[in-house]
Chains A and B, each alone.
Chain A
Amino acid sequence: MASHGIKDRVAIVGMGCTAFGERFDTGLDDLLVDASNQAFTAAGTDKDAVDAYWFGTAQSGMSGITLARPLQLDNKPVTRVENYCATGSEALRQAAYAVASGAYDVAMAVGGEKVKDSGYAGLNAFPVPNDGTGRTLTAAAMFSMVAPAYAQKYGVDEDELKKVLARIAWKNHANGAKNPRAQFRREMSMETICASPRVAGALGILDCAGVADGAAAAIVVRAEDAHRYTDRPLYVKALSFVAGNGSGLTDPTYDYTHFPEVEASVQDAYAQAGVTDPRHELAMAEVHDCFTPTELVLMEDLGFSARGTAWKDIQAGAFDLDGDLPVNPDGGLKSFGHPVGASGLRMLFECWLQLRGDAPEARRVGNDRNLALTHNLGGYPGEMVSFVSIVGRELS
């Protein structure tokens, strides 16, 4: 019984990502076609050359037909996957494993979500018939409980912590302002962020990720075939995934200052990739900044900061574009919004740009390390799924 991983057995040879935003004039089909075609072009291939597809969407459609119809795929196996907000990452994980297994030569992960057709603010879960005893809270409210718990545990003054959280939003907006694909391309001042209207607990509207439509795609092949498609492939070093069992909600020892599912998944990923000092081995990380306290805690769960110190590292600029370890150089969920099926692949798309040197000068990370990490979670503190990938530009 072991998690062996598939280090260096699979390569990503083409990616695509649409602009994210309130795409009221663009349907899911268009988003999927656009993201897929970008990926085909990048890999110099076409839809017929892809042997199997994994399509991630949380609730914009059902079955593989939701992708097969707009792309007009001919007799291809297309699997629709859903795993909360890590749905896009799950599509990649399945596609990569399918190639690593030898079942297919070429596989593609496509993720997309049409969120803005609901007519409501925020994300809304598709209701499964139930007994009416479940929680009806928003994700914002569940994650808002992290901030006071963290402040209390580490003796951080709540006003001080508010500034730390605002700095996370400030940093991600500053990065997103330099990204033409981002939903929000405007810098936000610390004052504006701190003064934004409250949504849940101490969280203001600018502590929350946006809500957007979007799609992204990745083509994966056997590592040894990679150079037939591109001279700058990314090799998959680690893919890990943990589905929590919800025990955090009812376990009296859980204190809302860390996410055990994230700790478990990242340990697995670091073991697969052989990473021991992530803060200095990774060129960059894309993490699931659905709310500012989430990114704060993730810095510690992912091992970028020691327990109880992330708030200081954030203030010191350790995760800024020119910091020790740039986090969310593309602007994160904060600037992109969160089309659930697409977000995990959007994170990978930034790794694709940065590690290949294709990121625009204005937001290029200031180091020449070879590895990048994506972290994508879904659910709430106490009950979440967590995905981590590590990709690199060199075979080891």
Chain B
Amino acid sequence: MPFRRLDRSEITATFGSGGGKGSRAVASYDQDTTTLGAEAARLAIRSAGAPAVDSLYFATADPAYLDKTNATAIHAALRLHRSGIALDVGGAVRSGVGGLRIALDGAGTTLVVSADVRTGLPTSPDESAGGDAGAAVLVGDPSAGPVIAEYLGAGAATDEFLDRWRTPGDRRSKVWEERFGETKYVPLGLEAWESALEASLLEAASVDRVIVAGTHGRAVNAFTKKLGLDAAAIVDNLATTVGNPGTAQAGLLLAATLESATPGEVIALVSLADGADVLLFRVTDEITEYRAARTVAEQIASGGPLPYGKFLSWRQMVTVEPPRRPEPARVSASAAGRSEDWKFGFVGSRDRSTGSLHLPPARVGSGGSLDDMEPAPMADVAGTIVTFTIDRLAYSPSPPIVFAVVDFDGGGRFPVEMTDVDAAEVRIGDRVEMTFRRLFTADGIHDYFWKARPVRTAADTNEEN
């Protein structure tokens, strides 16, 4: 989850309409669906003990690029093997759960990543009900590692009708009159529900927990009611803390559900999007040993507030005065290609003879060695702020820049921009971790690289890698 939260009452206070209860998660100005997906994928891989991944599917309804695959940047950030496939299954909200279904029905170890940045015009229901998040589910057989939820079977129902739509280039979606969608979704959902139970040889009564994802709130509620299950079985959709992250909602709620699941529980994952998909899982005994690298609950608890004005500017609903400095030039494709491991993977080099760390990687060591370096992956190494400054003049999509000199645990130093931070709260000695971000965009080219952010969850603060 991104760090920032928008209090929905700020919308009402500003415009006299819109808004609602609770808060929604907001992707930072330097995050897009690719970086959100990459962050979720890093957590999933860490949670699963870093198994080898054969395939990566990335689903989003808000792709950073068209024509060009976005999954390859995630693939590079994770440093997955180049013989694996990385592809986008994108464009529509349904592709989130769809990618998961394809992976479950397929072979090999597949990382299914979904992410969305949801917004709408100021005061719109989409603006307040939406949320930004990434989710990643690692699918494979026991040879890849402990299976925490066993796939039992699936059901689907597909129909062509107009519920919500967005033409390429539009910044907001439009929706048809709600009642129409509701009359479509409820029967489609029930159809898929029945066929999933049938495929899994299960009765409805044996389902312990039901996740119902979907951007059509009214249809989701009506369908859930129709199931006639005990209210305790219905998984909270995190609407008041996260909002609805569209394509990533099914993955996010599945991750949150597994964090508190017990062995033997049957989980139904339902998605209502241009039809209906139902996936059934049984939680295994391995769940007792499973520890998420960072739980959804921890991330919900560690968010920081974002003023509504910043939200509108980050979502490009308003244009604020930029710094009077030249905007950065576009990234060179060939230069970026040469430094893929550094730029996307944050891999430096370590001098074999002296042990000294070079960030960025170098051929000549400070001790005089030549071509005697080994790769030093630093993305998962935490560090400490040695000194820092606030740059109020430099170009940034969201000034001012907070910049810190970071000493990494185990040696090595890198001066780096910080993010997810309020300038006034930074202190020398603060603990930081690396995060994959989009620095800026020029000529339509996104500049992806790494920044440092404060370590905020208590469990990680003392971690010395």
User: Which of B34-42, B227-235, B258-266, B328-336 lies at the interface with chain A?
Assistant: B328-336
Query: A140 contacts the other chain (Cβ, under 8 Å)?
Result: yes
Assess A251 versus B413: contact at CB under 8 Å? Given A120-B324, A137-B401: yes
Residues of chain B with a CB closer than 8 A to A137's CB: 389, 391, 394, 401, 403
* B411 adjacent to chain A (CB < 8 Å): yes
Residue interface bits A126-144, CB-to-B below 8 A is 1, else 0 = 0101111101111011101
Contact check, B393 vs A138: say whether CB atoms are below 8 A apart: yes
A and B contact pairs by CB, cutoff 8 A, 9 listed: A131-B332, A131-B338, A132-B331, A132-B448, A133-B339, A140-B391, A199-B392, A199-B393, A252-B413
How many residue pairs link A and B with beta carbons under 8 A? The number is: 112
Evaluate whether A250 and B401 lie within 8 angstroms (CB atoms) in the complex, with A121-B324, A132-B336, A145-B388 already known.
no
Query: Closest CB-CB distance, A198 to chain B, in whole Å?
Result: 6
Shortest beta-carbon distance, B73 to chain A, in Å? Answer: 12
Q: Is the CB of B412 within 8 A of A252?
A: yes
B343 & A141 in contact (Cβ 8 Å cutoff):
no
Task: Identify A138's interface contact among B338, B358, B394, B417, CB under 8 A.
Answer: B394
Most buried by B among A121, A132, A141: A132
Q: DSSP class of B's interface residues: helix, strand, loop or mixed?
A: mixed
A127 engages B393 (CB within 8 Å) = no
Report which of A130, A144, A201, A256 forms a contact with B331, defined as CB distance below 8 A: A130
B97 at the interface (CB under 8 A from A): no
B interface bracket (residues with beta carbon within 8 Å of A): 35 or more
* Closest residue of B by beta carbon distance from A140: B393
Chain A interface residues toward B at CB < 8 A: 118, 120-122, 124, 127, 129-133, 135-138, 140-142, 144-145, 148-149, 152, 198-201, 247, 249-252, 254, 256, 382
Residues B391 and A138 in contact, CB atoms below 8 Å apart = yes
Contact B412–A141 (Cβ < 8 Å): no
Contacting pair B325 A122 (CB below 8 A) = yes
- A321 → B minimal CB distance (Å): 31
A252 proximity list for chain B (CB < 8 A): 386, 407, 411-413
> Measured between alpha carbons, how far is A250 from B350 in the docked complex, in Å?
12
Contact A120 B326, beta carbon cutoff 8 Å: yes
A145, B447: Cα distance in complex, Å: 26
- Bound: A120/B394 CA distance, A: 11
Tell me whether B412 and A145 are in contact (CB under 8 A): no
Whose C-beta in chain B lies nearest to the C-beta of A202?
B389
Chain B, 382-416, CB within 8 A of any chain A CB: 386-396, 401, 403, 405, 407, 411-415
Given A136-B394, A251-B413, A127 and B324 touching (CB < 8 A)?
no
* Residue B314 is within 8 A (CB to CB) of chain A in the complex: no
A123: min CB distance to chain B, Å: 10
Q: Is the CB of B332 within 8 A of A141?
A: no
Report which of B329, B338, B415 forms a contact with A249, defined as CB distance below 8 A: B415
Of all chain B residues, the one with the shortest Cβ separation from A247 is: B366
Contact A145 B390 (CB under 8 A): no
A132 touches B439 (CB 8 A): yes
Contact A141 B331 (CB under 8 A): no
Please give the distance in Å from B366's CB to the nearest CB on chain A.
Answer: 6
- Contacting residue for A141 out of B339, B401, B447, CB 8 A: B401
* Chain A residues within an 8 Å CB radius of B336: 131-132
Interface centre among B324, B329, B388, B389 (most CB of A within 10 A): B389
Q: Which residues of A contact B51 (CB under 8 A)?
A: none
Whether the Cβ atoms of B343 and A131 lie closer than 8 Å is yes
Contacting pair A250 B357 (CB below 8 A):
yes
CB of B342 within 8 Å of the partner chain: yes
B394 (CB) vs chain A CBs: closest residue: A138
A144, B387: Cα distance in complex, Å: 10
In the bound complex, do residue A130 and residue B335 qualify as a contact, i.e. CB atoms below 8 Å apart?
yes
Are A122 and B393 in contact, CB atoms less than 8 angstroms apart? yes
Chain B residues whose C-beta falls within 8 Å of the C-beta of A149 in the assembled complex: 387
A387–B253 CA distance with the chains assembled, in angstroms: 61
Q: List 3 tightest A-B contacts by C-beta distance, closest first.
A: A141-B391, A132-B331, A132-B447
Interface residue? B375 (CB, 8 A): no
Q: Which residue of A lies closest to B415 (CB)?
A: A249
Contact B389 A131 (CB under 8 A): no
A200-B390, A201-B389, A252-B411 known; A120+B325 contact, CB < 8 A: yes
